[in-house]
C-alpha cells in the first residue's frame, strides 16, 4: 500500500493495488475509487482531505484516524456498482 498526500491540492491518494486503470467511481462528495478493468479497487482518492478528516494539512497522514492496514482487506471484498 502506498499513501501520498498533496498539501497544495489537499488530495490524499491511497494506492491499494497496482494494475491497469479503467475508471473511477465517486462514492461521496470527497471520496472516489479507481478501478481496474476487472473491477478491482486500485486506489482511494480523498479530495479536501484536511476537511474530510478534520485534521491540519501538516498532520494529514499521521492524524487521520483511518485504519490504513484494513483498507487493503476491505478493498479486496468490494465490488462497487458503477454510477449511471
Residue-range definition of the domain harbouring residue 43: 2-77
DSSP label of 20: -
pTM of the full structure: 0.70
Within a domain: 82: no
Q: In this predicted model, what pLDDT tens digit does every residue of 1-12 receive, in sequence order?
A: 788 889 999 998
Q: How far apart are CA 30 and CA 38, in angstroms?
A: 24
Q: Are 36 and 54 in contact (CB under 8 A)?
A: no
21 has pLDDT over 70: yes
- Which cell is 72 given? 487493503
Q: How far apart are CA 60 and CA 23, in angstroms?
A: 26
Total structural domains within the chain: 1
Within a domain: 83: no
Within a domain: 35: yes
Q: How far apart are CA 16 and CA 62, in angstroms?
A: 18
- % of the chain beyond a pLDDT of 90: 27
Amino acid at each position: 500500500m502506498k499513501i501520498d498526500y498533496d498539501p497544495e491540492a489537499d488530495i490524499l491518494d491511497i494506492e491499494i493495488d497496482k494494475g491497469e486503470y479503467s475508471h473511477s467511481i465517486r462514492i461521496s462528495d470527497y471520496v472516489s475509487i479507481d478501478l481496474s478493468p476487472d473491477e478491482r479497487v486500485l486506489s482511494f482518492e480523498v479530495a479536501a482531505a484536511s476537511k474530510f478528516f478534520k485534521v491540519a494539512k501538516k498532520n494529514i497522514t499521521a492524524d487521520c484516524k483511518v485504519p490504513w492496514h484494513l483498507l487493503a482487506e476491505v478493498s479486496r471484498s468490494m465490488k462497487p456498482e458503477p454510477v449511471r
